[in-house]
Amino acid sequence: MTTLFTSHRLGGLTLPNRVVMAPMSRVRAAAGGLATPSMATYYAQRATAGLIVSEGVQPSLIGQSNPGTPGLHTDEQVAAWRPVTEAVHANGGRIFAQLMHGGRVSHADTTGLRPVAPSAVPAVGEVFTATGPKPAPVPRALETAEVPEQAGSYARAARRAVDAGFDGVELHGANGYLISQFLSSNANLRTDGYGGSVANRIRFAVEAAAATVEAVGADRTGIRLSPGGTFWGVEEADVPELYAALLAELAQLRLAYVHLEATADEEVLVALRRAWPGTLVVNPVLPMGPKQTGRHDAEHWLGLGADLISFGRAFIANPDLVERLRGGLPIAPVDESTYYQGGDAGYLTYPTHQYAA
């Protein structure tokens, strides 16, 4: 019988359990997008996860969404990440870098560059800048000849990730960021080979994944998706058809895994489980929604065929989440006021479970 605590083979890795630490923005990077000693401690504290997926890491300067986020596009950033991956490995863990190109969810005040996107359609809402939230700007629509360069940025960052000691990478194809914008039917108004039909709208995602596979290997490449998600104002027409077509193309690349968020009806997600021949990671509750993933949600999705279960917020306040789940111990609440405030408070200050004497 498969449980959360059964091992699983993922590419070249053997995961000791099926608990995945989901990627979560913590905006604790130093100037220049550099990882810090505190980040090494933070991830090492959570190394009992079967797999850690890092916070979103920008693959290029123009791909940076928020201030205070780390990158993987300079030699200095690679060097800064090495103590992080070494600390995770020293504690017996495994870690993938999530590669996140923000696309239109960015601001010139953050990068010094006008954001780029499939079309000149702004995101809905305010984006973070160093001086506070500001309305999302109108991005510059990429010329057709420029699109492969942006797809290739994931592959270049993936090479740097492996050089920095990461065990693999996850392409952030979810939550309204660049890959998600290309999948969208309202953020992507293109009339060339990257827009319009389902086959065209999935093209960017497939090209980014294919380039990454060529760069670091299929067993080191995963992708996160949010079928039907509406983050930052994206909409997707024909969700079942769109994602069935995308998974069919990705299956040919033999990716290490697909990571699905619970942004669509369970029926749709179960159909995608049947359509995907490889390892499936499921995040069972809506990201940033009112509920945190618990053991019941995890076991429900294992029963529906998921191979691995990702936990987000529960990992912030519970560095020993695997042990708490295994022992049926209380899950500590998270202090949301410390999410994006910087510093070690609400980052390194959550204790492991204290047993009564």
- Per-residue pLDDT reduced to its tens digit, 30-73: 999 999 999 999 999 999 999 999 999 999 999 999 999 999 99
Q: What is the pLDDT of residue 87?
A: 98
Active site residue 154: no
Residue 197 lies in a domain: yes
CB 323 within 8 A of CB 298: no
Kindly state the percentage of the chain with pLDDT values over 90. Answer: 92
pLDDT digits (tens, 9 = 90+) for 176-190: 999 999 999 999 999
pLDDT digits (tens, 9 = 90+) for 221-262: 999 999 999 999 999 999 999 999 999 999 999 999 999 999
Is the pLDDT score of 288 beyond 90? Answer: no
Q: What is the pLDDT of residue 248?
A: 98
Q: Which domain holds residue 210?
A: 8-315
139-143 average pLDDT score: 98
278-287 average pLDDT score: 92
Number of other CB atoms surrounding residue 139 within 10 Å? 24
The DSSP 8-state label assigned to residue 30 in this structure reads: B
Residue 338 lies in a domain: no
Name the pLDDT band for 203 (thresholds 50, 70, 90): very high
CB-facing half-sphere around the CA of 348: CA atoms within 13 A = 13
Determine the angle formed by the axes of helices 203-216 and 147-163, rounding to 10 degrees.
30
84-106 average pLDDT score: 98
Residue 332 lies in a domain: no
Q: What is the pLDDT of residue 342?
A: 87
Residue 241 lies in a domain: yes
Q: Considering its fold, how many domains does the chain have in total?
A: 1
Residue 330 lies in a domain: no
Residue 3 lies in a domain: no
Q: What is the pLDDT of residue 356?
A: 60
Q: What is the pLDDT of residue 357?
A: 56
Residue 35 lies in a domain: yes
Q: What is the pLDDT of residue 287?
A: 76
Q: What is the pLDDT of residue 354?
A: 79
Is the pLDDT score of 355 beyond 90? Answer: no
CATH of the domain at 22: 3.20.20.70
Catalytic entry in 42, 43, 154, 177: 177
How far is the C-alpha of 260 from the C-alpha of 324, rounded, in Å? 24
How far is the C-alpha of 333 from the C-alpha of 331, rounded, in Å? 7
In Å, how far are 118, 213, 217 from 157, measured between CA atoms? 21, 12, 13
Those residues with Cβ within 8 angstroms of residue 320's Cβ, 6 or more apart along the chain or in another chain:
48, 352, 353
Residue 305 lies in a domain: yes
pLDDT digits (tens, 9 = 90+) for 312-340: 999 999 999 999 999 999 999 998 888 88
Pure H helices in 117-237: 147-163, 178-183, 198-201, 203-216
Rounded to two decimals, the pTM is 0.97
Is the pLDDT score of 105 beyond 70? Answer: yes
